[in-house]
């Protein structure tokens, strides 16, 4: 009867939403970590040759920049692809290799990675709020003994929240500029950026960059 009364007052709605968000976060984690991030396959070279000139918008490549074959897996690398030493494959629009996911973030799973970070941030912020609401501070050893677990949990969740928030903000900034983490960190070593007349030849404006990435 108490459970029914809580349900009538809507007190069970928030815990239910929180559990669903946690479940969604876990499912997104496995989805992003297990899916193909955009590995370049040798058989795709023929398809790329057939698809040339079909209206795909790419920036002008300087004349002295040549697309090359990967020195590790020997596939012809498309522009913005990079070989990942950990995955042992070239990845299209390579952003970075995420040790938490044990997978690369690339062309195919990058948008879903942003969704995962967003859901994870909501869960962590909610967890920080719940942990903080359960704390009441007293300057006594007995209080610390009874609340040490909750205090440690709050500090850990708070640290993870800051990390995820910074990662999400930095990712959204790079996406709005139509660049990747790898390109941002290593532009001086990437031939098609080093020889380009533009600082970022892929930038088409914030709105169009976001639209092309998410839609």
Residues that are catalytic: 98
Separate counts of helices (H) and strands (E) for the chain: 8, 4
Q: Residue 9 CA to chain centroid, in angstroms? A: 38
Q: Which H or E element spans position 91?
A: strand 89-91
**What radius of gyration, in Å, describes the C-alpha atoms of the chain?**
23
Cβ 90 vs Cβ 140: under 8 Å: no
Q: How far, in Å, CA of 90 to CA of 80, rounded?
A: 10
Q: How far, in Å, CA of 83 to CA of 146, rounded?
A: 51
The DSSP call for residue 140 is: S
Helix, coil or strand: residue 166: helix
């Amino acid at each position: 009867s108490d459970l029914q009364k809580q349900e009538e007052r809507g007190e069970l709605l928030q815990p239910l939403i929180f559990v669903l968000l946690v479940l969604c976060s876990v499912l997104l984690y496995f989805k992003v970590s297990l899916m193909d991030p955009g590995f370049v396959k040798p058989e795709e070279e023929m398809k790329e040759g057939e698809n040339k000139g079909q209206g795909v918008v790419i920036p002008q490549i300087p004349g002295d920049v040549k697309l090359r074959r990967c020195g590790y897996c020997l596939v012809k690398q498309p522009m913005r692809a990079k070989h990942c030493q950990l995955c042992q494959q070239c990845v299209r629009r390579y952003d970075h290799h995420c040790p938490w996911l044990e997978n690369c973030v690339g062309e195919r799973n990058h948008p879903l990675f942003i969704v995962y970070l967003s859901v994870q941030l909501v869960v962590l912020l909610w967890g920080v709020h719940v942990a903080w609401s359960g704390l009441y501070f007293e300057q006594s050893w007995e209080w610390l003994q009874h609340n040490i677990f909750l205090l440690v949990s709050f500090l850990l969740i708070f640290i993870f929240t800051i990390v995820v928030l910074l990662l999400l903000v930095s990712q959204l900034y790079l996406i709005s500029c139509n660049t990747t983490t790898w390109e941002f960190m290593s532009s001086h070593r990437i031939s098609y950026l080093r020889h380009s007349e533009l600082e970022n030849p892929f930038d088409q404006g914030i709105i169009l960059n976001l639209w092309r990435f998410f839609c």
